[in-house]
Amino acid sequence: MSGLLYMGRPWTVFDPTNKDHRRWFAEFQHFGTWGRCPVRFVVADDHGDLVTMIQRSLIQYYVEREFKLSAPAPVKKYDDSKLTIVRLHPKKT
């Protein structure tokens, strides 16, 4: 067994709510290497690669944060009397 397994950076699961995790990913995007990151992120089985997994979790995090999706959005009710019918093809005369 390789000695790097014991001496390498510790493994952790990426957490988009953790500011350090987001900063380390931003540094990876800027420099193109994980060399400055003090940890190694675990890739979930249902994701193909680390970068895609992190991007998806960040998108979900920021969408929920911006639009406050914790509660379902209210359904808008429309008044049928205010609807206008538009013909896509004009009637031939």
* Domain boundaries along the sequence of the chain: 4-81
Dist. CA 36–CA 31, nearest whole Å: 9
Please tell me the number of Cα atoms within 13 Å of 61 on its side-chain side: 14
pLDDT at 21: 95
In this prediction the pTM is 0.66
* CA 11 vs CA 6, 38, 40, 46, 70: distances in Å: 11, 10, 5, 18, 30
What is the mean pLDDT of the segment spanning 30-41? 94
Dist. CA 18–CA 49, nearest whole Å: 20
Tens-digit pLDDT profile for residues 38-86: 999 999 887 789 999 999 999 999 998 888 866 555 555 555 555 444 4
pLDDT at 5: 60
pLDDT at 46: 77
pLDDT at 17: 94
Contacts of 21 (CB under 8 A, 6+ apart): 12, 14, 15, 41
